Chain A
Amino acid sequence: SSELTQDPAVSVALGQTVRITCQGDSLRSYYASWYQQKPGQAPVLVIYGKNNRPSGIPDRFSGSSSGNTASLTITGAQAEDEADYYCNSRDSSGNPWVFGGGTKLTVL
């Protein structure tokens, strides 16, 4: 089982705001990075650090963190944002890295 916990599925109406969360003890001292994976494609980095977007990632994607919870927020969700989203951070048991179980985002 993952040391980072995500809700398996979340839905959002087109154009509305959605928050995807990731919980884990390691998040109290280390930021999460977030990855978007569409069917049949490799994952893509969308957020890292406190709230940094790689080049080419729309500014409707943002990140935040509080206590043991990291959040990925999509403000004004688009149909193309429908995908699986994974968080990644340190593993509190001492391994370098661990992924959350993933959240399937449906845009209605």
Chain B
Amino acid sequence: EVQLVQSGAEVKKPGESLKISCKGSGYSFTSYWIGWVRQMPGKGLEWMGIIYPGDSDTRYSPSFQGQVTISADKSISTAYLQWSSLKASDTAMYYCARSYSSSWYNWFDPWGQGTLVTVSS
């Protein structure tokens, strides 16, 4: 069974750093992209960025470039999303998802269960 398992919920203070994880299993981790998606409370899905664990090629949405860092450790089939200095506005649910794309279509499947990040003083 293809599965992505994310790390648990986090409660942090503004200015603190954080790294959350997404561990893949049941497939070749280095053969698919892993994307990260933000969902703020009561809002829609926002694509943040994507990484190809095979060679660490990484792309960011302009909205998130410089705000977060995406990385991966293929030796343990795990992708990461990290912040160096959290803000209250980073409070959201964060999802990872396996991604495939071709010249005509793409998909994100499956999705991790989500990691809730709460930033509050």
Chain A residues packing against B (C-beta within 8 Å): 2, 30-31, 33, 35, 37, 42-45, 48-50, 54, 84, 86, 88-90, 95-102
Contact = CB atoms under 8 A, between A and B. Distances in A.
Contacts, number: 73
Given A86-B45, A97-B50, A99-B45, A35 B62 contact: no
A91 B45 CA distance: 14
Contact of A98 (B47, B109, B113): B47
Interface of B: 35, 37, 44-47, 50, 59, 61-62, 95, 97, 101, 104-114
B106 A102 contact: no
Query: Majority SS of interface residues in chain B?
Result: strand
Contacts of A42: 95, 111-114
Contact of A45 (B45, B61, B95, B107): B107
Contact of A35 (B35, B45, B61, B105): B45
Prevailing SS type, chain A contact patch: loop
